[in-house]
Amino acid sequence: MRIAVLDIGATVVKSGIIENGELTRKLRSPSNAHLGGPYVMEIAKGIIEGYSDFDCIGISTAGQVDSEHGIIRYSNQNIPDYTGMKVQEILQNTFNVPVAVENDVNAVAVGESIYGVAQNVKNFLCLTYGTGVGGAIVFNGEVFTGAELSAGEFGHIITHASKDEKGYYEKYASARALVNNVKAVLPELDNGDKIFANLENPVVKEFVDEWIIEILYGLVSLIHIFKPSLIVLGGGIMQNNYIIDQLQKKICDYVMPSFDAVRLVQAQLGNDAGLWGAGHLARLKISK
């Protein structure tokens, strides 16, 4: 089976072909999401047209997704005019093959559960850190979607409450938050790779260490609510070993002793996890 897979984000659209257990022909294309959902869909169609002879399509995408019907239930202003987009219908009508559509973090969780670090783990959490913070809950081996298929919005946990603003977790713990904080002082360090390449700079290290504490604030709440044995942390920035090492060292200082057995691990599939998850869901779609 040959599966065309896309991971649609606010910054880039990642894509590839899954065949015979391999992910090949990988591409990264600017999504230019600020131009809106309809524009992003044209980008997606153009990418898929560049692949040939595929049997189905798997889509991992930002936003709250009605995965049963392949519709975007809600999308914030990272992708304007994306809410209500009938992604599955549009792509099925265009390419005449089955299409599976899933929220990006749910897709990461599926990918890690089937092919990655969470194989044979029945209950775990998955978070990704990028433009925002996304979450997924795997319970008894299945992604728990809650009412209206939209559970797991971990980025909207309030970690800094005040009368004047809602201090959402992702405002402080996202990769974008770290980049914005560092860039305000060192404008040349305008992405995560540059920041971690300069970690020996005491100013940069202080920003990073403070940001890691912000990540912990959200994780501590989730650990006490769900008591997972495993939390998978994804997003490109989480491939930096320093982050995971510091989180695992510090977590015991923040949780009750009976909750400190949780393992915090990097997404083994890295930035490809969503593509693998989307591919698995597409395979299930065609096998029904």
Answering whether pTM is above 0.75, one says yes
By CB atoms closer than 10 A (0-12, 13-18, 19+), residue 165 is: exposed
Buried b (16+ CB within 10 A) or exposed e, 202-225: eebeebbeebbebbbbbbbbbbee
165 φ, ψ (degrees, to nearest 5): -155, 160
By 3-state DSSP, what share of the chain in percent is helix, strand and coil, each rounded to 5?
45, 25, 30
Query: pLDDT truncated to tens, each residue of the chain (288 aa)?
Result: 999 999 999 889 999 999 999 999 999 999 999 999 999 999 999 999 999 889 999 999 999 999 999 999 999 888 999 999 999 999 999 999 999 999 999 999 999 999 999 999 999 999 999 988 999 999 999 999 888 778 899 999 999 988 778 899 999 999 999 999 999 999 999 999 999 999 999 999 999 999 999 999 999 999 999 999 999 999 889 999 999 999 999 999 999 999 989 999 999 998 899 999 999 999 998 876
Three-state secondary-structure class, residue 76: coil
Q: Superfamily assignment of 2-103+271-287 in CATH?
A: ATPase, nucleotide binding domain (3.30.420.40)
Rounded-to-integer distance, Cα 47 and Cα 158, Å: 37
CATH architecture of 117-267: 2-Layer Sandwich (3.30)
Contacts of 43 (CB under 8 A, 6+ apart): 13, 29, 31, 32
- Domain boundary assignment for the chain: 2-103+271-287, 117-267
